[in-house]
Amino acid sequence: MAENESKKVTSGMKELFKLYRFLKPYRWTFALGLFFLLISSGASLMFPKYLGNMVDIANQGRIISEISRIGLILLVIVVVQAIFSYLRTRIFVYVTEKTLASIRQHVYNHLIKLPMSFFSERRVGELNSRISSDISILQHSITETLADLMSQLLIVTGGVTLMMVTSFRLTIFMLAVVPAMALFAFFSGRAIRRYSKKAQSFVAESNTIVEETLQGIQNVKAFTNEFFEIRRYRAKTDEVARAGIKGGKYQAAVSFIILGFFIAMGLVIWRGAILIAKGEMEAGQLFSFVIYSGFIAGNIAGMAGVYTRLQRTIGAAEKLLLLLDEPAEGIDEVQVIDPRNILDGRIEFKQVDFRYPTRLKNLVLQNVSFRIEPGQKIALVGPSGAGKSTLVSLLLRFYEPTTGRIFFDGRGSSSFPISSIRKQMAVVMQDVFLFGGTIRENIAYGKTDAEEQEIIGAAVRANAWDFIKSFPDGLETVVGERGVQLSGGQRQRIAIARAVLKDPKILILDEATSSLDSESERLVQEALEKLMRGRTSVVIAHRLATVRKADTILVLDKGIIVEQGTHNELLSNTNGLYRSLTELQFAR
């Protein structure tokens, strides 16, 4: 068991040291901090020695000036120790903050470049935890843990060496007594922290139960689950109590640890007193010995805290490195599109099959083939789960086809840089996402370097300018999280203005009018008609009344194109799915 844990720590340390590459730009500054650490730790070791010398000089009846000289040396040691500790702390804080900023930037840069297949398998809270909580754990560990470990090892080894020089026999006696108690304190400290961590975890889970049940109190009462929740909360709080009681056993053992330290120190002093009586040791040397023994015991016991921090740091490092090992998409920053990659808007799917990476058994699209000419409007209709949104995801290259190929202007989609393709597409979704900033920022997201007149022009074309200018702050109006300060129709028109500003070659619409009132629907539909003019448009249609003017309608069912044609052509097929969907919808 101990061997497995040792291997785990060794493996974890290798992972941790991989993160130290972010410290490389500051390595000389960090080395200077370690040098200051050595000086401050060395000064700490000198303090007990000179205190002992002062006691010896006083016992020998030497003149006061000699005692004062030692006192002055002690003062210099204390000042040197304080100055270099201050400088060391300043340097380590600087290096830590710079390194953490580099790690945060690198993790975020990598995260945002990961493919959609990655995000479909992860929860936002989990990813947010990686970039906030896990990196925060590193904050006091990436430099301080290493520094504390070096300082403790230096004080223990330096202290033992100085004690050996003073009295070999008493040092051997001390090493037989004091470290045993320090190691007992070390393992007790680890156990206390382990059970404390368990208790905190259970407390967090019990708090989650309280939060969820109070937020969903209507459901709790509607399903008469009050007593179910009471039992659930009782079970979790009982676990908190059990973990606390187990940890309490080790906390109670602290009194025996203190007793053990007193006994150990008493034995060292007893042995030292015998050596003084035999004339083999000076009183000042024993005084230094006692202080060094305390130093050594305290640092050995303190290693429990360093070990715990190290374990947490290793865990955080492993999670971050797993994230950084995920393969990113081949995306680039595109300011000007290479003329060779400019699209006319012709799209062709050839015998495309697709399975989601997480659901390889389910064939979502099967043998899908169709062609869209530049400037055409194509509609995708079909029951829920037919594969309409998946088809659009393939068009945006969020995923690659399992088999078959997709062509843009006669060229395979994989021959285009991903960023160049997406730069020439715009998406207006049914569930519009607006960022929590201003209207200006949300429209300008379609073209981040747009001038004010371009933004206003896009808002006018999207039928959004009238309501924008009616707000006291105009374009500077804050929309709130996800646009909560705006109505559904206003949010849709902001999203359309964003797409207008992007001026795409290919437009993708997830029909945006199904949940709007009549007036908002009219304004949004007008804006969409303007936006689609002269562009290749792919419309996911939920309300079939909106696709009558489409050049081609593709009817999907269970991942297969079962029909395609114009509105009138599809209605003429009395046994067709499109006709049955139309009759079902208009019969309501």
Positive/negative CA dihedral, 136, 142, 143, 149? positive
CB-CB neighbours of 510 under 10 Å: 20
Rounded to the nearest integer, the mean pLDDT of the chain is 77
Q: Between these two residues, 583 and 451, which has the higher pLDDT value?
A: 451
Task: Return the residue matching tokens 């099967």.
Answer: 366
In a 10 Å sphere around its CB, with 0-12 CB exposed, 13-18 middle and 19+ buried, how is residue 481 labelled? exposed
> Mean pLDDT throughout 497-512?
82
> Mean pLDDT throughout 192-212?
67
Cα 408–chain centre separation:
36
pLDDT tens digit string along 32-71? 988 888 888 878 777 777 777 777 676 666 566 677 777 7
Q: Between these two residues, 195 and 340, which has the higher pLDDT value?
A: 340
pLDDT tens digit string along 242-269? 777 776 666 666 556 666 667 767 777 7
Of the candidates 448, 443, 474, 472, the residue with the CA atom closest to the CA atom of residue 459: 443
CB-CB neighbours of 419 under 10 Å: 17
Q: What residues have CB less than 8 Å from 120, skipping those under 6 apart?
A: 356, 358
**In the chain, what percentage of residues exceed pLDDT 70?**
77
pLDDT tens digit string along 206-218? 777 777 787 777 7
Parallel, antiparallel, or unpaired for β 560-565 and 552-557?
antiparallel
Cα 111–chain centre separation:
9
> Mean pLDDT throughout 566-572?
84
Q: Render the burial of 370-393: b for 16+ CB within 10 Å, e for the rest.
A: bebeebbbbbbbbeeebbbebbbb
CB-CB neighbours of 10 under 10 Å: 9
Parallel, antiparallel, or unpaired for β 347-354 and 365-372?
antiparallel
Q: Identify the band that residue 353 occupies on the pLDDT scale cut at 50, 70 and 90.
A: very high
pLDDT at 392 over 80: yes
Element (H, E) at 408: strand 403-408
Angle at 175 between CA 174 and CA 180, to 5 degrees: 105
Q: Identify the band that residue 143 occupies on the pLDDT scale cut at 50, 70 and 90.
A: low
Q: Between these two residues, 476 and 587, which has the higher pLDDT value?
A: 476
Q: Between these two residues, 549 and 204, which has the higher pLDDT value?
A: 549
> Mean pLDDT throughout 326-339?
75
pLDDT for residue 1: 43
pLDDT at 11 over 60: no
Q: Identify the band that residue 407 occupies on the pLDDT scale cut at 50, 70 and 90.
A: very high
pLDDT for residue 204: 63
Which amino acid is residue 349, in one-letter code?
Answer: F
Whether 489 and 450 have beta carbons less than 8 Å apart is answered as no
